[in-house]
Amino acid sequence: MLLAPAINEAMWSQPATQRNVRTLTQDGYAFVGPAHGWQACRAVGPGRMSEPEEILASAAALVDERSAQR
């Protein structure tokens, strides 16, 4: 599973969020992003959803990687 978080930069930096990301990564989930930039709340920083093209490229790479492992 590939996750593409879109989250406020203040929420992204919270220790609980970072612990959850580490746990999900250890459980085999993959992440793309979050990107750095303007957010809906008018903050600037990490938390913006990655561009669709980047998400698609990451999904394709993940499928290729997982297929090679079989």
Catalytic positions are: 41
Cβ atoms of 49 and 34 within 8 Å: the answer is: yes
63 sits in the region (left: phi over 0; alpha: psi -120 to 50; else beta) called alpha
User: Residue 62's Cα: distance from chain center in Å?
Assistant: 13
